[in-house]
Each structure stands twice: as C-alpha cells, then as structure tokens.
Amino acid sequence: MGGRWQESTSTDRIGVVDPATEQVIGRVPAGTAADIDAAVSAARAALPGWSATEPARRGAVLAAARDLLAARRKEIAATVSAELGAPPAFASAVHVALPTAVLGSFAEIAAEFAFVEKVGNSTVYQEPVGVVGAITPWNYPLHQIVAKVAPALAAGCTVVLKPAENTPLVAQQFAEILDEAGLPAGVFNLVTGLGPVAGQALAEHPDVDLVSFTGSTDVGRRIGAGAGAAVKRVALELGGKSANVVLPGADLAKAVNVGIANVFANSGQTCSAWTRILVDDARYDEAVGIAVEAAAKYRPGDRLGPLISGRQRDRVRGYINRGVEQGARIVAGGPEAPDGMTTGYYVRPTVLADVTPEMTVAQEEIFGPVVVLIRYQDEDDALRIANGTVYGLAGAVWGADEESAVAFARRMDTGQVDINGGRFNPRAPFGGYKQSGVGRELGTHGLAEYLQTKSLQF
C-alpha cells in the first residue's frame, strides 16, 4: 500500500491451496482492520493528485499495464492455474486474455470519454466518486479485479482492493504491474485477508466513498444494507441462474453443445453460466442425448478443472443428490468422485434431466459443473420458466432467425443475453436484474459507476 510492500499489523498468514493437488503453494498476510485503515488513508492522500491527472494520462497508464500484462501472460496464467485449478489453456485464453482486453478497453475509454459537456446554459462535469473499496471473488480472480480497478482508475478514483483469500497471488502480480506501469504511489492499494475481517472493515470504512463487491447474494445483501445506512454508493455483482433457451426451429445441436461448454469451461464456477437449458417438448429427448455426448468430452483433470475447495466440492455434490431426491434423473456424471481421482476437489461433469422449474437445482446457484435440462410447452411457458427465479444476470436465446430470438430476449428479465452464440464484448455493460445485483461493469456504463455529476449554470 502507498506504493510499497508493507508488513501487516498481524503475523497471521493465509495458506493458498492448489485445488488440484490440495497442497499449500503460498502464504499471504491475513490483513486486519488496521491494515485496511492504513490503505484507505493512503488512497485518500493520493486522490487529489490522481483525480486532477488528465484522462489521457490515466488512459496511458492503463495501456502500459495492458502491455505489461500481455508480456507476462504465461507467468500470470501459471499462477491462476495453480491457485484456481484452471486448465492451463483456459487460464491463458480466458483468465489472462480477457482482463488484458478489458484493460485495453478502459485505456481507450479514458482518452475518449466526455468528462465535460455543455447542456444549454450549463456545463456538466463527470467527476471521480473518490476512494473505492473493491472486494473481488476467486472464480475469475484477475478479470474481476480488472473489471473494478480499471474503470475506477480511468475515472480518477483511488482504490483499495481486498481480493478473495483463495486466489490472492495473481492480485499481488497485478499490483506489481500497475506499479511498473507508472501508477503513482497510493492510487492503488492491496490488502490480502479474510472476508469477515479485512473485507468487512473495507466495506464499512467511513472514508470509502463507494464499495464495489462481486460475490454471493447473501454477502451482497449485507454490504448493500450497510452502504444504505451510511448513504454510500455501492455496486453489487451477485449470483445467477441463467437460462439457455432453445426456441423451436433453432439449431439444437449447436445450442446444447455451446451451452454445455459455457457451463463446464470454468468448472461451473461462473456466475453468468447458462446452467438451465430450456428445450421444447418435441425435441427434449434429442437434447438430452446431445448433452450427454457433449458432457463426455470434459474429463476431470483435463478439460475440467477442480472446484476451488473441498467445501465447495461437497456443496455441489449435495446439490446433485438433492436433485435426484426431488425427481431429477442423472444422465451424465453424478455425485461420486471421478474414477481414480483421490486427490483434488473434482466433481464429475453432471447433466440432470427431467428437472422441473420448482426444483432446488433449477432455482439456486450451484456453482459447479452441473447443467439441468427443463422442457417447456410453448414460448410463453419458456419465458415463464426463464424468468422464474430470483436472479437475472445473463442468459442465451437460440432461434431459427435473429428476429425471433431478439424478440424473446427482450422479454427476459435479465441483464445480458447472447443471441445465437453471440461473442463476448468487453465494452458491453455487464450486470443483473433482481437479486443478481446493482450497477454495471465494463464499457462506458462500467465507468459511470465510478463517477458523480456536477453541473454549473451560467
């Protein structure tokens, strides 16, 4: 913090475990409330200078960080593989390439965004909100950091980051990159630690102007309540139970195969994963067969990495068992340990058929490699099922033509929908409806979260 590494006020350390080997691969400080206080003070002191820095200069620092991240791609990917368990190819192609693209997008946005505009006899200024407390999860450890830190820095804010205790090593590498890119001391500050200690201290700190949190809906609800009581800005990116809707006439094989890949790519540990596949009754059995064949391509330890912890593994297996108890049929995978794998927090890639909308596995976020298939009778029934959860983060629609797919997507209560396999866009806003969160990340909408508006009248 404050531009240099400092010892924690606590001598306690957190062991970082490789979920594939169950071995400790590193230890980081268990930061305290006092450490958070020092980091917030450093951020507050650095705020006047950074907020007054020209946006183009702020963008140049982000561009330099993008280039440094790209240059260290192999090293960063190895770190993510070790602390998250992501297969090496996926770690490189997604866990590093994605935040690199996002950094680049905010470098461009900082230089081109209209921070000042004329509105009649007024001049309207978009100014940084101040000190940002960023609390990030473990499932996309670098991307989630960049999705908060890059727009905050582009806006002219200073930041205190508390990364997930499971995956703090890549956060330390990112801190080194920002320093090497020329970010002034105190503008970015990193405190590793436990959520109930360092995370809570950051969320509740009176000198933090905005809290940006990604994680569970339960924790987000508590952070939002605390921010409301303090009349403090908050951005929350929470859970999801996204629907992958295959309309009659759509390419069924492509929709199901892409849908399975979407969920299993990060071992199901993706808040926006399309974990519910909705298929019309006439083609439902065919879809089940396609899903079974697709799931067979994901072998644990190869294309399918472990879950983050033994606790998460047991939680996911519990959901599979609950699905069976409520009437679901296992057509691929299951709750048993993968054959021959006695080490590592692995779960079989699982497909549950004959799932009905009210089942627990169709309502709650499982966060593991589990896909459920649900049949529907007509499009109105499909829409009712798709919208029938407390979440609304993402989704997919496949149609015989783009027009019909878009018409259905417009009626979905969700923040982002991919049409016929639409590609990721780092400038498109990401965030949810309902209990999936408050606010947006990425692009100009993501930048706006870190700005406040002032108007001068003449």
**Annotated catalytic, 83?**
no
Of all helices (H) and strands (E), which one includes residue 259?
A: helix 252-264
Q: How far apart are CA 195 and CA 164, in angstroms?
A: 7
Which one from 83, 237, 441, 449 is the annotated catalytic residue?
237
Helix axes 73-84 and 55-71, enclosed angle (nearest 10): 70
What string of H, E and C letters represents the secondary structure of 333-373?
A: CCCCCCCCCCCCCCCCCEEEECCCCCCHHHHCCCCCCEEEE
* Distance (Å, whole) CA 265 – CA 246: 20
225-228: long-range contacts at Cβ-Cβ below 8 A with a sequence spacing of 24 or more?
227/203
The one catalytic residue in 271, 365, 441, 449 is 271
C-alpha span between 434 and 83 (Å, rounded): 32
Q: Cα(163)–Cα(194) distance, rounded to whole angstroms?
A: 9
Residues 180 and 177: their CA atoms lie apart, in Å, by 5
DSSP per residue over 92-141, as a string?
IIIIIHHHHHHHHHHHHHHHH--SEEEETTEEEEEEE--EEEEE--SSSH
Report residue 376 as tokens.
Answer: 């529907």
- Which helix (DSSP H) or strand (DSSP E) does residue 227 occupy? helix 217-229
Is 157 noted as a catalytic residue in this protein? no
In the chain, what's the furthest Cα-to-Cα distance? 75
- Name the DSSP letter for residue 87: -
Catalytic residue ranges? 237, 271
